């Protein structure tokens, strides 16, 4: 069974995410990923740069579990500045598609007062389901 997007009848189709996803198979969960590299070093303090690295980190953990962006069923984003997030949506969308393609799972985005790593501007948790063969 392929993962199926859930769209209640009569609802406006969301842009950039799904209202829900039905899936069956092997579940892969990531811990919260932030915008540092594999050596846990930040290369930039720019929101978009950190988001790209965060998404690359999510993708790397998925791949380690035998999954890919096409298997994503849920993303939870934690951002420290919702105004910057909203002001840079066009750039954000381009980086998202570059790293994860046109895979838009169920998502939530929450503004938080801060993240555990002081320089982090975004943290993302992911859930993927690899369909049974």
- Name the residues annotated as catalytic: 109
Give the chain's count of helices (H) and strands (E). Answer: 3, 7
* Lookup: tokens for 56: 């690359």
- 15, 34, 58, 61, 111 from 115: Cα distances, Å: 27, 9, 17, 20, 10
Gap between the Cα atoms of 46 and 7, Å rounded: 34
- Give the count of alpha carbons within 13 A of 9, CB side only: 0
Q: What stretch of H or E contains 126? A: strand 122-131
């Amino acid at each position: 069974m392929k993962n199926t997007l859930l769209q209640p009848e009569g609802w406006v189709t969301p842009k950039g995410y799904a209202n829900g996803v039905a899936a069956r198979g092997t579940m892969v969960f990531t811990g919260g990923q932030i915008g540092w590299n594999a050596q846990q070093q930040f290369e930039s303090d720019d929101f978009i740069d950190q988001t790209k690295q965060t998404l690359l980190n999510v993708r790397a953990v998925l791949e380690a579990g035998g999954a890919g962006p096409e298997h994503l069923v849920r993303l939870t984003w934690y951002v420290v500045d919702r105004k910057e997030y909203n002001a840079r949506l066009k750039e954000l969308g381009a980086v998202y598609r570059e790293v994860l393609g046109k895979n838009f799972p169920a998502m939530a985005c929450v503004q938080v007062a801060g993240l555990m790593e002081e320089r982090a501007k975004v943290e993302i948790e992911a859930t993927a389901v690899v369909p049974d063969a």
